[in-house]
Amino acid sequence: MNFRKYLVLAGVTVFAAAGDSMLSHGMKQTGSISLNHLQGVIFAVLNPWVAIGILLLLAFFATYMTALSWADLTYVLPATSLGYVLLALVARFLLHEHVSPLRWLGIALITGGVGFIAGGPALTEHPHTAKAQDAPSAIAVGQAPLVAKNARNGAPSGVES
């Protein structure tokens, strides 16, 4: 994995933690809202902390999609779960929330799991990929029949529609 890919994974982690933190801070300022009262939802979105949180979460989704374009979900999700550690630290020290010892234990387990994932490959080998690469050579030697498609309706040639 190259530096850019590590940067994308770091972006996923930081954008998620920062976006969630700002969204939480803004919603604590706004108070309780209900989907039955659209005016309250609009008022909440206009809170600067909520708006910045939404923008950071959009950046999270952009970097998350980028990471998923070159790596498996089973690699990306655990690799970016360090955001849970960052989020707990932000919640505890900046938002002054109580984080129980049991939650700290869970965060430690997540951190250990990330260590296991980091040593593995980012992309899993897929058996059907190797077979698809071998298909042109099989066709070339006459092992698989070719069917010409009718350009008008997609039916094989010689078949009346």
**114 lies in which domain range?**
3-118
Predicted confidence (pLDDT) at residue 30 exceeds the cutoff of 60:
yes
pLDDT in the model for residue 121: 74
80-132 pLDDT, tens per residue? 888 888 889 999 999 899 999 999 998 888 888 877 776 777 777 666 655 54
Domain identity same for 62 and 137? no
Residue 46: pLDDT band (50, 70, 90) is very high
Q: How many domains does the chain have?
A: 2
Burial class from Cβ neighbours inside 10 Å (0-12, 13-18, 19+) for residue 152 reads exposed
Round to the nearest angstrom and report the end-to-end CA distance of the chain.
51
Domain identity same for 27 and 82? yes
Domain identity same for 9 and 53? yes
